[in-house]
Structures are given as C-alpha cells and as structure tokens.
C-alpha cells in the first residue's frame, strides 16, 4: 500500500478566487495564512483545505480559454484520482500499466498533437501527467511530440492513414529510436546504424539504446544512415519484423514504468514505402526535436508541483516535538523554495508556449527552458526528500519516486550540460561542444 500524497481534490475556481474550506477535505490539517487564531481553529477542527490546493499561485491555468480550462480540470481530476497513487506500485515493479494507458486514451492524451488545442493547453497537460506520474508523462510526451508529430509532419498520406488513428486513440504505440550504445550526445554526427536500399526494400543494421516503449510498441521510428548518400533518415520498422529484437533495460533508478530497451537490428528488411518521405535528412526533424525538448521543460515544472504536493501534505501530517513539521521555520522555507522553483518553471514555460504559438520558438529557448526547469527540479526533489526525513527515501511515500525520476529529466532529450552548451553557443557565437 502507498502512504504518500493524499490528493487535494481539484477545485473549480474563478480567476483570482481563493480556495474555500471544505469539511470532506482529503488533507487532514490545513492552515490559513491570515490570523494565527484562525489557524488554531482550523487545526483544532481539522476541516480546512490548505489555500491554493492546486499550487497555481500565478494563475497560469487561468490563461486558458474557458473550454480548455474545463477540459484541463476534468483531465487533472482523472489523473489525480486514477493515476497518481496507482502508478507507485507499477513503478516499484517496473511494470507497464496497459489498463491505465487505455484510460489515458479515453481522455484524449494520445491525440494532443493533432487535436488543435493550444500550446499552453498541451503544455499544461504534460505538467499534470508529470504531476501524477513522470514515466507516463514521458510516454505521453514522446508519443505526441516524436511519434504522432513526426508521422503527421513528415509521413506520407499512406503512413498517416495506416498509423494515426490507432496512435491518437492510444491503442497503438511507437518507439523513438535515435540513441545508440556508443552515441548519445554526439548522435547527430556519430550515428552508426545503416540503411541500404536493396531490391525495392530497405535493409537496416545496427543497435539502439534506451529506447522508450521499445519492447511494447507496434513499431519503432528508427533513424539510420543511408549508405548511398550518408544522410540520416527516418524509417518505420514494425516490431514483428524478422531481425528486430528489443531487450528491456531493467533496474533503472527512475522512469521505471517506461519500458526502455536495447534494440538490435540485424538485416531487418522493410518496404521502401516505410521511409518517412519528409525525413530524408536529419535536419528535417529539427523543429520536432526542438519542440520535444520544450516538452521536457513542462515535465520539469510538473515534477516540482508533484514534489510540492507531497511535501506540503506530509509537513501538515507529520508531527515531531509535539507539533506539525509545517510549523517549523526551516520546513516552511523549504516548502516556499520548492513552490518558488515550480512556479518560476511554470511561468517560464507559459511564456515559451506564447512564443511557440507565434512561431518564434528556436532551439536556444527550448534548450534554456529544458535545462533550467530540470535543474530546478533536481534541487526541488532533493529538498522534498530531506524534508520528509527517512520516509523521503521510500518510493511508497512518492517523494523517493520523484527523486529518481528527476534524474532522467535532467539527462534525456539532451543532457543538462549539452543543453547549456546550446544556450551558451547561441549567446556567445562560440561552440564549446568539442
Ligand atoms: C531513461 C531514459 C530514457 C531515454 N529514452 C530515449 C528514447 O526513447 N529514445 C532515444 O533515442 N533516446 C533515449 N534516451 C537517451 C538519452 O537521450 C541519452 O541518454 C542522452 O542524450 C545522453 O546520452 P548518453 O547517455 O549517451 O550520455 P553521453 O553522451 O555519453 O554523455 C555522458 C556525460 O558526458 C557529458 N558530455 C557529453 N559530451 C559533452 C561535451 N561535448 N561537453 C560537455 N559534456 C559532455 C554529458 O552531458 C553527460 O554528462 C533515454 C535515456 C534515458 C536515461
């Protein structure tokens, strides 16, 4: 059984309205930030909801138009009630929750890329899925940005008709296969997997590492170097093709629900029509790779809101020296810092959504956002972990799970260091990559 965060029920509130007290609150003890006497009363009667139950102090959600705000509240409630607590056992067992995936599909999370919603809405969906479970947010993000996005933007009409209906319903999955055992940060220049055209078919050879959903996907989107012109191209490789093997990478310290795989491609033959016509040169995928980097920035905000939720609930519940942890100044300072980090991340991402909507997003902003929110996330989960003492170590209390998951956000979609180098290259005009 999990012992962690007891979800605060989402509240429909108009812009600028404070949350009201409720008698059936899930958090046992709340605290008003007004007069101390009110606080005492709230503690004694155990009836108050903590202020700002959704921790959106800057009212970012209120920037959504009314229809998207309603949809946001509905999905958020589902994620908090259905996914958040349930994900912990799957995470502990490194198992994939196929049933939960189907439910995510019913809420439209497989079709965010093509359903015409705003960039801010899509980003806030990534935040809320990450707040419920970071692994599933990785699945939702990669699926939308790198699988649905690539096929929709770079695929043929035949490929779109074949794959998009199942993908957007989340009844089918793709895996994004770029990284290799010997090439991570230097993959663009170093990629070794080959493709050769032979009698009307492509033949692929090579190895891929860390590929999310590699063992459970219907196909992998494999990036390989065409031996004829040396360009890196994107190929749809169905996972039941002869010569394709995927082996689960076990014992990860984070993202344990995501089934990452080592993939071997041994003379895998696919029809010529499986080449993405828009991906005949790696630079064609750049815009989508830039957007997927921004997606991890949203994840960085979401994981910090999760850490805040858990730390606040715990500090209000746990008593030492005869009073709640929440009454100690050092605990309050850490809560304020986690929330400050989370809010700064969310506000940065909301502005990123604006420039993305205007078509002004470039790699430098995406890299800066990704590097910054994941750096802050690492600091926030470390504070949350120590705030919870020994119980912060156990994933059963959720914070331990977040602590491990933050490491992945810091490293994938370009490591923290590489994204920092991209930013600094842009602002100095000097590359320090090599
Ligand atoms: C859980 C998980 C899921 C992933 N999912 C996917 C996926 O679905 N698909 C996919 O294709 N890939 C995936 N990846 C791969 C991920 O993108 C790479 O791990 C990442 O790009 C870093 O590459 P690397 O691990 O090979 O590290 P390396 O490139 O070997 O880097 C090691 C260290 O050296 C530093 N470094 C490297 N070069 C420089 C330099 N020039 N200057 C300064 N420092 C440098 C790095 O910052 C890092 O700290 C995933 C990874 C993980 C851990």
In this prediction, residue 413 carries a pLDDT of 97
What is the pLDDT at residue 6?
A: 60
Atom of ligand 1 nearest to the CA of 186: 29
CB distance 277 to ligand 1 below 6 Å: no
Token pair 């908090």 in the structure block, residue: 80
Candidate of 144, 185, 288 to mutate for ligand 1, largest count of ligand atoms within 8 Å of Cβ: 185
Q: Which protein residue's CA is at the shortest distance from atom 31 of ligand 1?
A: 185
Pocket test for ligand 1, best of 415, 422, 430 (most atoms within 8 A of CB): 415
Q: Residue-wise pLDDT tens for the chain (434 aa)?
A: 456 666 544 333 333 333 333 333 333 333 333 333 344 333 343 446 788 989 999 999 999 999 999 999 999 999 999 999 999 999 999 999 999 999 999 999 999 999 999 999 999 999 999 999 999 999 999 999 999 999 999 999 999 999 999 999 999 999 999 999 999 999 999 999 999 999 999 999 999 999 999 999 999 999 999 999 999 999 999 999 999 999 999 999 999 999 999 999 999 999 999 999 999 888 888 889 999 999 999 999 999 999 999 999 999 999 999 999 999 999 999 999 999 999 999 999 999 999 999 999 999 999 999 999 999 999 999 999 999 999 999 999 999 999 999 999 999 999 999 999 999 999 999 999 87
367 alpha carbon – ligand 1 mean position (Å):
14
Q: Report residue 270: phi and psi, to 5°.
A: -130, 155
* Number of C-beta neighbours around residue 240 at 10 A: 8
Pairwise CA distance, residues 312 & 336, whole Å: 10
The whole-number pLDDT of residue 434 equals 73
Q: Does any ligand 1 atom lie closer than 6 A to the CB of residue 211?
A: yes
How far apart CA 248 and CA 114 sit, in angstroms, is 30
The whole-angstrom separation of Cα 296 and Cα 309 is 20
Task: Tell me, in angstroms, the distance from the centre of ligand 1 to residue 166's CA.
Answer: 30
pTM assigned to the model: 0.92
- With a 6 A CB cut-off, is 418 part of the ligand 1 pocket? yes
Are residues 122 and 245 in contact, defined by beta-carbon separation less than 8 angstroms? no
How far apart CA 105 and CA 75 sit, in angstroms, is 11
Q: Distance, CA 185 to ligand 1 centroid (Å)?
A: 5
198 bridge partner residues: 201
Q: How far is CA 131 from CA 73, 153, 356, in A?
A: 14, 29, 23
The pair of three-digit structure tokens given for residue 36, joined into one six-digit string: 């101390």
Q: CB within 8 A of 31, min separation 6: which ones?
A: 39, 42, 43, 48, 50, 51, 316, 326
Spell out the domains of the chain, with CATH numbers in brackets: 36-143 (1.10.540.10), 174-280 (2.40.110.10), 284-428 (1.20.140.10)
CB of 376 sitting under 6 A from ligand 1: no
Alpha-carbon gap, residue 80 to 316, rounded angstroms:
19
């Amino acid at each position: 059984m999990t012992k962690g965060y007891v979800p605060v029920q989402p509240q429909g509130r108009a812009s600028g309205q404070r949350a009201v007290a409720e008698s059936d609150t899930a958090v046992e003890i709340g605290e008003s930030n007004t007069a101390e006497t009110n606080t005492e009363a709230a503690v004694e009667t155990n009836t108050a909801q903590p202020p700002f139950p959704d921790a959106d102090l800057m009212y970012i959600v209120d920037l959504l138009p009314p229809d998207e705000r309603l949809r946001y509240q509905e999905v958020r409630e589902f994620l908090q009630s259905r996914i958040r607590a349930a994900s912990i056992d799957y995470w502990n067992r490194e198992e994939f929750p196929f049933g939960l995936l189907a439910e995510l599909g019913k809420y439209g999370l497989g079709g965010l890329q093509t359903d015409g919603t705003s960039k801010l809405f899509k980003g806030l969906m990534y935040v809320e899925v990450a707040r419920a479970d970071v692994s599933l947010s990785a699945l939702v993000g990669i699926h939308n940005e790198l699988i649905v996005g690539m096929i929709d933007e770079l695929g043929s009409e035949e490929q779109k008709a074949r794959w998009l209906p199942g993908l957007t319903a989340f009844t089918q999955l793709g895996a994004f296969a770029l990284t290799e055992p010997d090439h991570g940060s230097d993959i663009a220049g170093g990629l070794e997997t080959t493709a050769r055209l032979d009698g009307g078919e492509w033949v692929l050879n090579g190895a891929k590492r860390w590929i999310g959903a590699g063992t459970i996907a219907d196909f992998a989107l494999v990036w390989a170097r065409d031996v004829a012109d040396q360009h890196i191209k994107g190929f749809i490789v169905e996972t039941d093709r002869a010569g394709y093997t995927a082996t689960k990478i076990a014992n990860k310290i984070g993202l344990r629900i995501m089934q990452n795989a080592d993939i071997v491609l041994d003379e895998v033959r696919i029809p010529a029509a499986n080449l993405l016509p828009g991906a005949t040169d790696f630079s064609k995928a750049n815009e989508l790779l830039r957007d997927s980097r921004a997606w991890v920035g949203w994840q960085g905000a979401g994981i910090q809101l999760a850490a805040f939720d858990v730390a606040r609930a715990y500090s209000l519940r746990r008593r030492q020296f005869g009073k709640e942890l929440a009454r100690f100044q050092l605990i309050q300072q850490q809560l304020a810092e986690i929330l400050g980090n989370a809010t700064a991340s969310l506000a940065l991402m909301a502005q990123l959504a604006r420039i993305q909507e205007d078509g002004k997003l470039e790699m430098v902003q995406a890299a800066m956002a990704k590097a910054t929110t994941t750096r802050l996330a690492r600091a926030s989960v470390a504070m949350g972990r120590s705030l919870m003492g020994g119980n912060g170590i156990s994933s059963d209390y959720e914070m331990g799970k977040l602590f491990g998951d933050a490491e992945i956000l810091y490293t994938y979609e370009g490591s923290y260091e590489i994204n920092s180098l991209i930013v600094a290259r842009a602002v100095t005009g000097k590359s320090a990559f090599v």
